[in-house]
Structure 1
């Protein structure tokens, strides 16, 4: 049994990670900021912890991680949230999570990022998009520099469709889309597979099973 804490647990990917973890008979902790969402997480079989990553200290968040074997960061400010919240959630929340994990003695951290955020931005890119890309890029940079056992998963366009279980996973893949359910399955598989430690992997739908895709990604 693995005890997994998910930051951004009320998000679509976060909830799916919790559901899959519970189905595997793991212990799942959902970190959320809104007490109104406690019941939803408990219905999934997860334990809810209320921590607002935009205002909490690393020490406060670390308390929610005590006893965990791994932390998943899947929080995001979401569409229409504006540049400031991209910075406080997508970047600041990630940095806070890494520091809190360190304080709690949790070395394993898996972060959900986004495909292509290292690529140059168009001169006419919208302000919100620039803020999002920069936040994800810099969050990944900070996690790669942290003294933690990290994995970064960078999915393509996210779809609200059933899982296919067929993906492409590598340091670089052609841009595409992928169901959120498959992203969650890959995140959980990465948590449980130490061969993915120190890997930053892009993810889209493809032809390989998740196990086959991970085998190929860690061998490359």
Structure 2
């Protein structure tokens, strides 16, 4: 498979790129800064320099041409303000979905956040982040041209992955290592039977493959 990842230099994306490359997939990661290219190459991914805050749908669609799946894993990141939560976590997500449809890439996995809600109240930056993620999720869910799955992890940690997770429509709050989030995304990309689902993810007791197959059967 050829898989294109938006936000290719993110902590989850780099882990995902290593997993996908190791199993033989062709992986491209969209990045904003050329100096990030070396990290993607080391992970086994092709770096594609494209600023999703300023690119056109046509620009991004060219990078998605021929892909079997697209993963949106971009985010404005820590230290960014309310404005970039909107332009990246919402705006870039909508742009990437538009581009996937334009390029004919149906399989589309979104890395969102537990608690994402377009109507989330509050004036803090994190509140704006949850609203932006929620609005992006709502946009994707309304698209008939995508076979989408939305993944909403709990509190992300850098602990070593265990390969044991809880993946359900409603898991309740909890932490999850980024290693395990990446492993779940890799399985979801390969499991189109999860299309149309918004799933929460925390650490649990089910092996990743079993957890994904379980929700795919519902």
TM over 0.5, shorter chain: yes
Matched residues in 2 for 1:211 and 1:42: separation?
27
Q: Does 1:118 align with 2:117?
A: yes
Matched residues in 2 for 1:10 and 1:126: separation?
29
1:27-53 deviation per Cα after TM superposition (whole angstroms, max 9, x unaligned): 000100100011111121111111100
- 3-state SS of paired residue (1:75): coil
Q: Does 1:61 align with 2:71?
A: no
Moved more, 34-43 or 111-120: 111-120
Matched residues in 2 for 1:77 and 1:120: separation?
20
Q: 1:134 aligns with which of 131, 144, 153?
A: 131
Note the C-alpha offset of 1:101.
0.5
Please, what TM-score do these two structures have when normalized by structure 2? 0.96
Matched residues in 2 for 1:168 and 1:18: separation?
22
Q: Does 1:34 align with 2:33?
A: yes
Note the C-alpha offset of 1:121.
4.4
**Residue 195 of structure 1: aligned partner:** 193
Note the C-alpha offset of 1:127.
2.1
Note the C-alpha offset of 1:219.
3.0
Note the C-alpha offset of 1:200.
0.7
Q: Does 1:104 align with 2:103?
A: yes
Q: Is the 8 A contact 2:30 2:49 kept in 1?
A: yes
- 3-state SS of paired residue (2:74): coil
Matched residues in 1 for 2:79 and 2:123: separation?
12
- Provide structure 2 residue ranges, at least 5 long, that are not aligned to the other structure: none
Matched residues in 1 for 2:115 and 2:181: separation?
16
1:66-115 deviation per Cα after TM superposition (whole angstroms, max 9, x unaligned): 11100000000012200000000000010000000011111111000011
1:147-193 deviation per Cα after TM superposition (whole angstroms, max 9, x unaligned): 21100000000001111100000110110010001001101100001
With over 3 angstroms needed to count, the CA separation of the structure-2 counterparts of 1:38 and 1:118, relative to structure 1, is: same
**Residue 203 of structure 2: aligned partner:** 205
Structure 1 consecutive aligned stretches of length 4 or more whose deviation exceeds 6 Å: none
**Residue 76 of structure 1: aligned partner:** 75
- 3-state SS of paired residue (2:176): strand
Matched residues in 2 for 1:75 and 1:121: separation?
20
Q: Is the 8 A contact 2:107 2:192 kept in 1?
A: no
Give the RMSD, CA atoms, in angstroms.
1.3
With over 3 angstroms needed to count, the CA separation of the structure-2 counterparts of 1:56 and 1:168, relative to structure 1, is: same
Note the C-alpha offset of 1:218.
2.5
Please, what TM-score do these two structures have when normalized by structure 1? 0.95
Note the C-alpha offset of 1:215.
2.4
